[in-house]
Structure 1
Amino acid sequence: MTEFQRIGIVGRPGSESVKASTRRLAGLLRELQKDAAIEANYADEVKDIGLPTKTIHELGEWADLVIVVGGDGTLLGAAREICAFEVPILGINRGRLGFLTDIMPDDMERHVKAVLAGQYVKEDRFLLQASIERDGKEIAAGTAMNDVVLHPGQAIRMISFELSIDEQFVYSQRSDGLIVSTPTGSTAYALSAGGPIMHPKLDALVLVPMFPHALSSRPLVVAGDAQVCIKIGEDNTLEPMLSCDAQTSVQTRLGDMVCIKKLPHRLHLLHPTSHNYYAICRNKLGWGKKLVD
C-alpha cells in the first residue's frame, strides 16, 4: 500500500480539543519527517505549530493525504472540496458520532503512524451532485457526501412535488420533503426519518419521504447511477429549500426542477486496519453485543 509524505491538515475551528489534537499531530509528523501543511481557514487558530498554510484546493493539489481533525461534519466539508483531486482522507474524531472520523484521540499516534507507513483499509465512497434548473437553465449546484434534502425551510408546512427517476415518473407527493441519501448518509438524517441502513460498499441511493401525507409512502432504494429529478409543485404556498449535507442551502422557486446524480469522482476514505463497520454501528447506534464471547 502507499506510503505518504505530504500531509495536509484540516481542523474544525473554535474547539480547544481540536487544537490540542492538531498540535499533537503536527509534532508526530515532524518526528516522522513528513512534509505538512495546514488549511488556511484553520491556520490562525494554531499559529504556534509553525506549519505553512494552503487553501483547501491547494491542499488537494499538493498533498498525498489529508487528515481531518474534528467530527463527521468537518470531514463532510473537506470531502466535498478534496474529492475531485482523488486525495485520500483520514479522520481523527473530535466530534460526537464518528462514523467517518473513526480514529479516537487516545489512539491517534499509533494509528496515524501505521497509516503513514502504508497499513490501512481504503474505502471508496461516492458523492452526489445536485442542480436546480429554472426555465431550462441551471441556476445553482452543489455536492453532498451524505444527502441532498428538499425541505420547507423554517416553516412547518407540507410541500408538493413530483418525483421522476431516469426520466420515468414515480409519484407526486405532499410531505415535509424528501431525503436523497448515499449509503454513507444512510446512518445520518435518512436514518432518523425511517430510512434503512445501507452498507457503504453498496452502489445505491435511498429516497426517504419526510412525514408524507400518504401512509403508503415508504423509503425507496434505487441504483446508484440513477438520475433523480424532483419538480417543485406550482401549488406550494412557500418556496422550498434544497440542502446538501445540511451545510449549504439554496432556495428553490415554484416550478423549478431539481436533478440529483452521482458525482464522477469518488472519495478515498482511509481507516486503521482494525476498522469494522458493524462494530461502529454497534457502538454508535447502541446495538446489542454478543451474548457469548
Structure 2
Amino acid sequence: MSQKQPIRSIGLVVRQDRPQHAITLATDLTGWIKSRGLDALSEPLTAPIIGARPAEPAQLGREADLVVVLGGDGTFLGAARMMGERETPILGINLGGLGFLTEITTEEARNALSRVIDGDYEVDRRITLEAVVARSADNGGQEEHFRALNDVVIVKRAFGRMLDVRVVADHKPFCAYRADGLIVATPTGSTAHALSAGGPIVFPSLRVVVLAAICPHTLSNRPVVLPDSFELEMHIKSDDLGALLICDGQESAHIDQSDVIYIRRGKHIVALVRSAHPYFEIWRDKLRWG
C-alpha cells in the first residue's frame, strides 16, 4: 500500500476458541468503532456475539480497510492469508503467547486503533513466500500454489524418518540435506520455527530468507541467509512415503518423490501496523534478554 487509504470499514478477527476475555475486548472495540461512524465486520460465528456485521473470510478480506487481530501469532497468520492479494493494514492485539506479530497489548488496544483511524501510523511491509508444488506427469502434472508469511517447512511424511532433499539456489546446485526437516523462513519467520532450529534473528526490513535444517545429520549444515531474489528449487530423494510441505503451520500438501518444490519471494507483502515500541525493545521483552 503506497498511500494510506481512508478507513471506513474495520474487520475484527478473533482467535478461534473465542475465550471470554477476547470476546469482551472485541465487543468493546466493536461498539467503539461503530460510535465513530465506521463499519465493523467479523466472521459469521463471531459477529453476532460482538455486535459486528457478519462477513465470510473472503468478503472480510475484500471489504475491510483495516483488520484488527485479537489473538496470537497464529491468528495473525490466518488473517494475513485471509487478505489474499490485498495489502490491507493489519493491527495485531496480543491475546496469545509471545506475540511477535501481535505486538499491541490489550491496554494499548483502543489508543492504537484510534491512531490508525486518524492516520497516525506506519506500516512494516513484510515480505511473503510463495511455494509452488509442481506435480509430475504421473501425479497429475498440475501446480499447487501456497503463500506463507512466516515459513515454509518440509518434513518427512512418516514419523521418525529422515528427510533427504537436494536444494538448487538461484539455478545453481546448493546443498544436499539429510535432516528431520528443512525450514525456509522470511525475516518475520526468523523468530518462529527457524529460531528453534538454531537460525538467526533477522531484522524485519531486510530482503533475505533463512534456510535452516531441523536436526541435520551433518553438523556442518548450519543455517544460511540468502537474498530473497533467489528462487529455491527442491527435489525430494525419498521412499514412496514422500514428504509434507507446511506453510505457516496452517496449510499443507503431500509431496511425492517425483514432485518438485519451488520457493520464491511472494508477489505481495503483508502490511503490519507498526507498534510504538522499537524492535529491540520487543526482542528484549519477548526473548527475555534483560
For Structure 1 versus Structure 2, the TM-score category normalised by the shorter chain is over 0.9
Equivalent residue number for residue 287 of structure 1: 289
- Could you list the runs of 5+ residues in structure 2 that have no partner in the other structure? none
Contact 2:12/2:68 (<8 A) preserved: yes
Contact 1:241/1:249 (<8 A) preserved: yes
| Deviation larger for 67-76 or 27-36 | 27-36
Equivalent residue number for residue 257 of structure 1: 260
2:65 maps to 1:68: no
Instruction: Find 2:234's aligned residue among 206, 215, 230.
Output: 230
Instruction: Find 1:271's aligned residue among 270, 274, 281.
Output: 274
Structure-to-structure mapping, 1:28-177, within 5 angstroms? 28-40=32-44, 44-135=45-136, 137-153=141-157, 155-177=159-181
Between the aligned partners of 1:18 and 1:228, the Cα distance in structure 2 is 40
| Deviation larger for 175-184 or 56-65 | 56-65
Contact 1:121/1:275 (<8 A) preserved: no
How many correspondences in the alignment? 283
2:245 maps to 1:242: yes
Deviation at 1:2, TM superposition (A): 4.9
Instruction: Find 1:209's aligned residue among 213, 218, 225.
Output: 213
2:8 maps to 1:5: yes
Between the aligned partners of 2:107 and 2:114, the Cα distance in structure 1 is 13
Q: Which amino acid aligns with 2:100?
A: F
Aligned CA distance change for structure 1 residues 49 and 212 (closer, same or farther; 3 Å): closer
Deviation at 1:88, TM superposition (A): 1.0
Between the aligned partners of 1:265 and 1:45, the Cα distance in structure 2 is 28
Deviation at 1:22, TM superposition (A): 0.8
Between the aligned partners of 2:177 and 2:49, the Cα distance in structure 1 is 55
Deviation at 1:129, TM superposition (A): 1.0
Q: TM-score, normalised by structure 1?
A: 0.92
Contact 2:23/2:49 (<8 A) preserved: no
Equivalent residue number for residue 183 of structure 1: 187
Deviation at 1:192, TM superposition (A): 0.4
Deviation at 1:286, TM superposition (A): 0.8
Q: Which amino acid aligns with 2:172?
A: Q
Equivalent residue number for residue 291 of structure 1: none
Deviation at 1:83, TM superposition (A): 4.3
CA root-mean-square deviation: 1.6
Deviation at 1:266, TM superposition (A): 0.9
Equivalent residue number for residue 198 of structure 1: 202
